[in-house]
Every structure is written in C-alpha cells, then in structure tokens.
Chain A
Amino acid sequence: MTDPGAKAADPNLPLGAGDVGETRPFVRLDRVVKRFGGFVAVNGVTLDIARGELFCLLGGSGCGKSTLLRMLAGFEHPDSGRIEIDGQTMAGVPAYARPTNMMFQSYALFPHMSVARNVGYGLVREGVARAEIGQRVEEMLRLVRLETFGDRRPHQLSGGQRQRVALARALIKRPKLLLLDEPLGALDAKLREETQFELRALQARRGVTFIVVTHDQVEAMTLASRIGVMEAGEIRQIGAPRAVYEQPQSRFVAGFLGSVNLFEGTVDVAAPDLMRIRTPGGGFVVPPASGLSARQPVALAVRPEKMRIAAGAAQADNALQAVVEERAYLGDRTMFKLRLNDGTVLKVLSAAAEAGVLAVEPEAAVDGGGAAADGGGLTA
C-alpha cells in the first residue's frame, strides 16, 4: 500500500493512479463538472479506476456522488470535462449504448413484469434469441438463488429478494462496469452484512468493475478495494479503506469515517523520520507527513480505539492528563469520555479485556495516551 499523502503532493499524478496495475485506467474521469442551475453538484472531479476494482464513492447526501454515478450511466451529462470507459469517450453516447449497467437505489424493478422478464429485459433489447434468453435468465436467477421465483411479480418479493433481482438484471448483460447506487440501503442490518460479502464474492468471481455509491462508511469499508471520499462535489481523498481510515488527509475525512479526537496545535519539529507536535494538552511524536513544516498550525487526529487509558500521572510524549467523565459499557468494548485540563473532551475506546480498564470509575484522574504510530497530522 502506498502512502496516499505522497501522491497528493504530486500535482501531475491523478489521485489514486499509483494503485493501478494496468497502464491504462478502465474508467477515467477528467475534470468533470456538473451544475444544476446555480448549484455545482460535481466540481472538477478527476479519478482513475482500474479494471476489476471495487471502487466506493463515499459521502453525505448532496455531495455529488450520485450525480457522478448518473453521469457514468449516461443519465446526466457533464457540463465540462471528459468521461472515458474502457478507452472510449462517453461524450454523446446515450445511456442505452453504454457498456455499463446500473443497480438503482430503489431497485427500479418493472412492476408489470415477472421476475424472469425483469431479468431478461436487457437481453430482449439486445435481440438475443429467445432460447438463449431463457437459459441465461435461469442461470442468473440461480446465481442470486432465486431460481424458483421467476414467475413472481416484484411486489410479491421481500426487500432482499428484490435487491437480488435488481442485481441479476444489472449483471445479465455482462457489463464491463457495474454501477451500484446505495445497493444495501433498503436492507435490514442482518441482510446487509450477508449481501456485502455476497457482492464482494460475486465481483471477484465475475471480474466486473464495480463502482458503488454509499453514504455508509461501514459499507464502504467492507466492500471497497478503494474508497473516494466526496464532499461538496469534490473528491477529498482516495485510497484503500485502511489508508483512508488511518491516514485521513483532512478534518472532513477524519470525521466522516468513524469518530476521531482532534487536537489543534503547531508543528514543533518536522524531521525526516518523525514529527513533534505541540498541543495545549501535551506533546505528540508522530510519523512525518509531507507538506508540513515547523511552526505550522496543524490538527492531530487520533482514533478513539488507538488510545489507551492508564491510572496515575506520567509526563511523557503522547501522554495526556485527563479526568474520566463518563463510561459506557458496550459489551466487547468500553467507551470513555475524558476531559482534558483545557476542557477538551476526548473519546477513548478500550477493549473490554484490557486489564484494569473496567475498574476506572468516572472522576478518576488518568493518562490518555495516543500511540505514536497512530496519530496523523492534518493541515486541512
């Protein structure tokens, strides 16, 4: 895994291109802009996606992720910029002629057709022979384990079954690129988890390139080989789930993916092998981040589960004096709310098994320590 920070620093390299094995990206977005009236939905997105990737566009509602997906499908057209799929420019190519298929958030199953006719719709349009259609529909329904449901109407199915019909319908034309809009949004928690792994397995088996749009960071983490975090029509960070989570490049990304403790401070020492950051609560020693120099104001992000609690007072790097304000027992973990001397409130997540932690009562004075390797400096 390459360090995404290094790539972001090089303006000539498209974001995320370093992870791509092939020389030519499969999907290429080049400075794509889309406006709706005065509202800029997508603001100059440049993005390369390799063949066979499972790419997740993650962001809150209105961040432009769905618009981006709809431009790939051909339902919207960019005001400027280029979209290429498999080396072909998509300018002027209508939705029905694109090598993409989409799974809609609402599933958009045709209510007046049986499941089998829904799944076979794309093949009928292609003019495939009837016998072959029947065969491929059957094969598709077997894949999504709905082989006995071919004669049902969509309204006779459960949410999870509808989701699988929608997937089968989108896959039957063997698209080069499958676009999924909040594919798991309408499913309950248990079904979601099941389907997430099914989707991943399916993607790996078929070798189709997936682009998934979601607002759910857990969904993005489990599904994606790479995540692009979007905000206000722009991609804020691209990288593998682990890189985006552990080395967020901005406050927004840090806060959007999971919870985070932010420490405002200044860079004290920016050496090639380490960086010292001074904050009102205490000093931190963290791995170096590019683009930061001494005396620069900076925010340090530390994940709650990367901090440890210890009783007593110790003066050391990456150690903070705090008072336990609240404790919430979560079963496998315990969540502590700590207050620093300057009033900042921190969240610390401890594994329940950690010795001594459960004995810490509110109002006790403790040390909260951020492990050196896990902090990250943020400029944005």
Chain B
Amino acid sequence: MTAPLSSPGTAGSHPPTPARRAGGRQGGGFRLIIVLLPLLFLSVFFAAPFLVVAAISLGDPMLARPPYTPLFGPDGFQGDLENYAFLLTDSLYLSAYLNAVKIAAVATLLALLIGYPMAYVIATSPEPRRAVLLMLVVLPFWTSFLLRVYALIGLMNTNGLINSVLSTLGVIDAPLVMRQTVFAVYVGTVYTYLPFMILPLYAALVRRDESLAEAAADLGAGAWTVFFTVTLPLSLPGVVAGSMLVFIPVIGEYVIPALLGGPDSLMIGQVLWNAFFSARDWPLAASVAVVMLGVVVLPLLFLRRVVEAR
C-alpha cells in the first residue's frame, strides 16, 4: 500500500529538464503541483482501495467482523487463489461475465449507431440551433438516474404506458412482455449512456474540416464515399472515446439489469452485489471485482493499441 504513495516522491525528485528550467522555477513548481494532486487523489482513492480489495480476495470468508480471514495469520502469509479458481469452475460467474461483456458490446454498438447520426446533425447545424440541440442531449442529466430508470419501468410494465396505448389502439390483444427481458436492459443502457457517446462524437465531428469533404467530392467521391473515406476515419478518435465511455460503465452496470432485466440478463455487477450483500462472502466478491477490472482494462488496452497504430 505504500508503493503508490511513495511514487509522488520519486516523481518529485526527477531533475527538471533544461527546457522547463528555462521556463522559470515558479512554473516548474506549479507544474509539479498540477501533476501531484491528481496522482495523490488517485493513490488514496483508487490504488489503495484496490489493493485492499485484492488483499481481501486472497482470503476466506469468516464469521467475524470484518467477515474475512486476514492476509497474515499467526503462521504468516495465508492467502491463496482459491476464490479465483472457484470463479473459473462455477459457470454462473463465467456466464455472468460473458453476458456483461456481450450486453456492454451490443449496447455500445447500438449507442454508436444511434449517436453518430445525432452527433453529425448537431455538429453540422448552424450555431443557435446547435446550442439548443446540445442542451437537449445533456437535459436528461438534470433528473436523477434512478428516477429515469423508474420512468422506463412505468413505460414498459405489463400495464405500463406503452402496453395500454397499444391495446387501446387495438394493435395488440395481450400486453407485450418488455420488462425483465434483455430488451429492456438494452433500452435502459442505451438510453442512459447515449449522451456519453454523443458528446465525444460531437467534439470530433465539430472540428472536422469541411474543405476535406469538398476536396474528396472534387476528386469524384459521392456523398457516401466522402463519409466512409474521409469523415468517418477522421472521427475515429471520437468513436473510440465514446465507445469506451459507454462500454466500461455498462460492463459493471448494476441498477439497470437489476430493475429492468430478468434472469437471462444477469450481469456481473448483480453477481458481485449478491456475493457481497446476500452471501456476505467478501473474499469471493472481492475476486469478482478484481477480475471485472481485468475485463474492463483488457479491451481498453486493445483500443489504445488500435488508436496508436493509426
């Protein structure tokens, strides 16, 4: 636990580069503070808790307070990888992980397909209208996330708004089952995370150079060819950023599948919650959390490599 805390010290002992020294002692000190503060914050509130969680994951549950065996007992180190082995053998965890990755991937794709045209229209709108449209994208954040998910329940319930309107119109005889399905989870995640897709896409598209599209048209490209050969490739950083901002939180999503989903949409976040609060198996829950971090970090590293390769 002391390792991350000591890293600011080592960073501070680095001799300033000549260029920085030329900028003045004051500038260098300021620069150091700017780097150190977030580093300190992340060390205290991310690295340290993560190491605690990792340590717990190596222990066993115990009827005590806290409810796990300490890492070092009377006979010295007593941690093991038993919990991780268990995760691999029990199909519940494996399928919950896979389900989370699948739902996150599909939700990201859907958000991209819906968000890209929206971001494009906003970015190409004239100025006064553009501000209004951007405002509308951010508007849902003005109400609580939970409240919005509950509103979705009200819409998709068996006797909810959609079903009652459809049956009144005579479109359906029996109410549609929408709640407690994977469909509802997709509706919930895409709806909730769409702004996180749109905003980075908008930022990438609004910076686009219109003369590049004109140059492509001038050289014989029709509208779609211009889009696929110029506009889309140049907006890829926005696509990657938006996809990460949707994919990563959706993988660990708990509230949406718990409130809108059913048995076939069990995600790893719910499994984690159950292990922690229902089974009170803290070590197992901790190992689930550690593996989840790996599941999130791996695609992140992959995407970074893709972006860097360009």
A residues sitting closer than 8 Å to B (CB atoms) are: 73-75, 94-97, 100-102, 104, 106, 108-112, 121-122, 125-126, 169-170, 173
What is the CB-to-nearest-CB distance from A213 to chain B, in angstroms, rounded to a whole number? Answer: 14
Of the candidates B215, B225, B230, the one whose C-beta lies within 8 Å of that of A102 is: B215
Of the candidates B211, B218, B230, the one whose C-beta lies within 8 Å of that of A95 is: B218
Instruction: Please name the 4 residue pairs, one residue from A and one from B, whose CB atoms are nearest each other, closest first.
Output: A122-B219, A125-B220, A108-B215, A108-B211
Task: Using known A-B contacts A101-B219, A112-B310, A126-B220, determine if residue A95 contacts B234 with beta carbons closer than 8 Å.
Answer: no
Nearest to B213 among chain A residues (CB) is: A108
Of the candidates B211, B217, B229, B310, the one whose C-beta lies within 8 Å of that of A96 is: B217
B221 and A101 contacting across the interface, CB-CB below 8 Å: no
Cα A121 to Cα B215 with chains together (Å): 10
What is the CB-to-nearest-CB distance from B229 to chain A, in angstroms, rounded to a whole number? Answer: 8
B218 and A96 contacting across the interface, CB-CB below 8 Å: yes
Of the candidates A73, A94, A106, A173, the one whose C-beta lies within 8 Å of that of B209 is: A106
B215 and A110 contacting across the interface, CB-CB below 8 Å: yes
B214 within 8 A of A: yes
What is the CB-to-nearest-CB distance from B212 to chain A, in angstroms, rounded to a whole number? Answer: 5
Cα A112 to Cα B225 with chains together (Å): 15
Nearest to A119 among chain B residues (CB) is: B219
B216 within 8 A of A: yes
Q: Inside 8 A of A108's CB, which chain B residues have their CB?
A: 209, 211-212, 214-215
B16 within 8 A of A: no
A73 and B233 contacting across the interface, CB-CB below 8 Å: no
17 extra interface residue pairs, beta carbon distance < 8 Å, beyond A94-B222, A95-B214, A125-B220: A73-B214, A74-B217, A74-B218, A75-B217, A96-B219, A96-B221, A102-B214, A102-B218, A104-B211, A104-B214, A104-B215, A110-B212, A112-B233, A112-B234, A121-B216, A170-B218, A173-B220
What is the CB-to-nearest-CB distance from A263 to chain B, in angstroms, rounded to a whole number? Answer: 45
B211 and A125 contacting across the interface, CB-CB below 8 Å: no
What is the CB-to-nearest-CB distance from A137 to chain B, in angstroms, rounded to a whole number? Answer: 13
What is the predominant secondary structure among interface residues of chain B facing chain A?
helix
Q: Inside 8 A of A73's CB, which chain B residues have their CB?
A: 214, 218
Cα A106 to Cα B216 with chains together (Å): 14
A95 and B217 contacting across the interface, CB-CB below 8 Å: yes
What is the CB-to-nearest-CB distance from B114 to chain A, in angstroms, rounded to a whole number? Answer: 25
B residues sitting closer than 8 Å to A (CB atoms) are: 209, 211-212, 214-222, 225, 229-230, 233-234, 310
Q: Inside 8 A of B217's CB, which chain A residues have their CB?
A: 74-75, 94-96
What is the CB-to-nearest-CB distance from A39 to chain B, in angstroms, rounded to a whole number? Answer: 16
Q: Inside 8 A of B221's CB, which chain A residues have their CB?
A: 96, 121, 125
Q: Inside 8 A of A75's CB, which chain B residues have their CB?
A: 214, 217-218
Q: Inside 8 A of B214's CB, which chain A residues have their CB?
A: 73, 75, 95, 102, 104, 108
B219 and A169 contacting across the interface, CB-CB below 8 Å: yes
What is the CB-to-nearest-CB distance from B224 to chain A, in angstroms, rounded to a whole number? Answer: 11
Of the candidates B209, B211, B218, the one having the most CB atoms from chain A within 10 angstroms of its own CB is: B218
What is the CB-to-nearest-CB distance from A160 to chain B, in angstroms, rounded to a whole number? Answer: 19
Cα A279 to Cα B38 with chains together (Å): 78
Can you pick out 11 interface pairs between chain A and chain B where the beta carbons lie within 8 Å of each other? A74-B217, A96-B218, A96-B220, A100-B218, A101-B219, A104-B211, A108-B214, A110-B212, A111-B212, A121-B216, A125-B219
What is the CB-to-nearest-CB distance from A123 to chain B, in angstroms, rounded to a whole number? Answer: 9
Q: Inside 8 A of A170's CB, which chain B residues have their CB?
A: 218
What is the CB-to-nearest-CB distance from A327 to chain B, in angstroms, rounded to a whole number? Answer: 45
Q: Inside 8 A of A125's CB, which chain B residues have their CB?
A: 219-221, 225
Of the candidates B214, B215, B310, the one having the most CB atoms from chain A within 10 angstroms of its own CB is: B215
Of the candidates B220, B234, B310, the one having the most CB atoms from chain A within 10 angstroms of its own CB is: B220
Of the candidates B209, B211, B234, the one having the most CB atoms from chain A within 10 angstroms of its own CB is: B211
Cα A169 to Cα B233 with chains together (Å): 20
A101 and B218 contacting across the interface, CB-CB below 8 Å: yes
Q: Inside 8 A of A96's CB, which chain B residues have their CB?
A: 217-222
Nearest to A98 among chain B residues (CB) is: B218
Q: Inside 8 A of A97's CB, which chain B residues have their CB?
A: 220
Nearest to B209 among chain A residues (CB) is: A108
Nearest to A181 among chain B residues (CB) is: B211
Nearest to B233 among chain A residues (CB) is: A112
Nearest to B214 among chain A residues (CB) is: A75
Cα A101 to Cα B220 with chains together (Å): 9
Q: Inside 8 A of A122's CB, which chain B residues have their CB?
A: 219-220
Q: Inside 8 A of B216's CB, which chain A residues have their CB?
A: 110, 121
Of the candidates B212, B215, B219, B230, the one whose C-beta lies within 8 Å of that of A173 is: B219
Cα A170 to Cα B220 with chains together (Å): 11
Cα A124 to Cα B215 with chains together (Å): 14
Cα A122 to Cα B222 with chains together (Å): 12
Cα A73 to Cα B209 with chains together (Å): 18
Q: Inside 8 A of B229's CB, which chain A residues have their CB?
A: 121
Q: Inside 8 A of B230's CB, which chain A residues have their CB?
A: 110
Nearest to B234 among chain A residues (CB) is: A112
Cα A170 to Cα B214 with chains together (Å): 12
What is the CB-to-nearest-CB distance from A329 to chain B, in angstroms, rounded to a whole number? Answer: 41
A121 and B219 contacting across the interface, CB-CB below 8 Å: yes
Cα A94 to Cα B226 with chains together (Å): 13
Nearest to B215 among chain A residues (CB) is: A108
What is the CB-to-nearest-CB distance from A111 to chain B, in angstroms, rounded to a whole number? Answer: 7
